[in-house]
Chain A
């Protein structure tokens, strides 16, 4: 079993839709949870960062962490064509700069 599981999609939605992206993980030692966005031929860029369980909102993006279920989600409201990218969940054991463990990424396409 991989440490981090993420459905690769692809996921296609019309503009304005609410998008839900998810990851599950097996190691309960993970404490820090992140979502990265990666456009084609570019490096990943950090979208959301959450510590432990709970919700965090930033504009159209909401990140949720449920440590009891080992499940994290990213919601995108009012999706835009510019949101079309690959979304990678990532996790780490501590904040001290240890390497991130990534999911495979979910490819999202938002059509206008």
Chain B
């Protein structure tokens, strides 16, 4: 079974520029999460989708971050404009349906804002 795919793996941008990250979850997984992991910290949820609907975006800085999951499969996370404090690894995770509890994480996109 293929894992969660993310691209790009690395991105360097200047502050005030925009950037977009892409995630392809495991096939058939209805729930998709975006987490932000700042260096030395644990992952923190940004947004959770169930199919193509938003379940929880309470910690998403909506003035600069946006996310969508068209057709309930792939998802895109965008930052516009970026700030220095957005430098982090952005992790995508997916979870299957039914009684399964495990979230499967992708390798992440490492963003550096200069």
Contacts and interface: CB of A to CB of B under 8 A. Distances in A.
Interface string B7-38: 00000000000000000000000010101000
A8 B107 contact: no
Interface string A23-35: 0000000001000
Contact of B31 (A32, A41, A46, A97): A97
A49 B95 CA distance: 15
Q: How many of chain B's residues touch chain A, expressed as a range?
A: 20 to 34
Contacts of B41: 104-105
A97 B45 CA distance: 12
Contacts of B40: 8, 104-105
Interface string B64-78: 000000000000000
Interface string B55-66: 110000000000
B15 to A, nearest CB: 24
Contact of B105 (A32, A41, A43): A43
Contacts of A98: 48, 56
B108 A100 contact: no
B102 A49 contact: yes
Interface of A: 4, 6, 8, 32, 41-46, 49, 88, 90, 95, 97-100, 102-105
29 contacts: A6-B42, A8-B40, A32-B101, A41-B107, A42-B107, A42-B108, A43-B91, A43-B93, A43-B106, A44-B43, A44-B105, A46-B103, A88-B42, A88-B43, A90-B42, A95-B99, A95-B101, A97-B31, A97-B95, A98-B56, A99-B35, A99-B48, A100-B45, A100-B103, A102-B44, A104-B42, A105-B40, A105-B41, A105-B42
